[in-house]
Structure 1
């Protein structure tokens, strides 16, 4: 195998790896919102109750719970489709930062560790957007 074939194979593998991780993150985000939407009021009320012993006011947490669910849905769809990928990842990073803050207020360090794993995946994808090949964004760049 010559160098050009190896480089071509490596590039294709990186593009496929990017797509797999992007799509899995998207499915995860969309799935989280889809299971919460049917019981959105209960989710929001429960979340507000979980923050009762923190500095965050219950009405703020209640409203923010709705924002989280709809943000997860939009981010999920965008990542699955590969459309506005960079912005979807940035938005997901911001959402993860807010969730980290909330979990720290609750001293829920196990969840903070889980959020860090998602954050590493988001950062990895952002660092490697040059390999974002299989998605709607590519169709717009080609034209």
Structure 2
């Protein structure tokens, strides 16, 4: 594989990796506050409060791992699937409160991750040897 392909793939995944990493990093120090915010935000949802609260405590760790692993090029394919599940759950949660504007962001993240999955076979021999 030519080096420019590897480098291009790195730069294609860089914004997504940093976005996910950043989300996790800013939420972890204020985990309880983030959880309280999410529970309040989802009050109008039919989802049980305990599910929303449990999910809110897991989200920052998943975001951090997805971002860090993408940045480091570790387990790229499985971590992209984890990211896709996360954004699908975000989209589903937003539909339960009719927060249609946020779903656009989740769809874009999902499309971005899918693009990275589709491009991955072309850079399989990158730094993940």
- Give the TM-score taking structure 2 as reference length: 0.91
Q: Contact conserved, 1:19 with 1:134, CA < 8 A, in 2?
A: no
Q: How many residues align?
A: 128
Q: Which residue of 1 aligns with 2:76?
A: 85
- Which of 97, 114, 124 does residue 123 from structure 1 map onto? 114
- 1-structure distance, mates of 2:59, 2:103: 16
- 1-structure distance, mates of 2:56, 2:8: 32
- Is the partner of 2:29 in helix, strand or coil? helix
- 2-structure distance, mates of 1:106, 1:14: 42
Runs of 4+ off more than 2 Å: 11-17, 131-135
Q: Are 2:103 and 1:108 aligned?
A: no
Q: Mind listing any 5+ residue stretches in structure 1 that lack a counterpart?
A: 1-7
Q: How does 1:28-47 map to 2 (within 5 A)?
A: 28-47=19-38
User: CA RMSD for the aligned pairs?
Assistant: 1.5
| Bigger radius of gyration | 1
Q: CA deviation at 1:12?
A: 4.3
- Give the TM-score taking structure 1 as reference length: 0.83
Q: Mind listing any 5+ residue stretches in structure 2 that lack a counterpart?
A: none
Q: CA deviation at 1:134?
A: 4.0
Q: Are 2:65 and 1:74 aligned?
A: yes
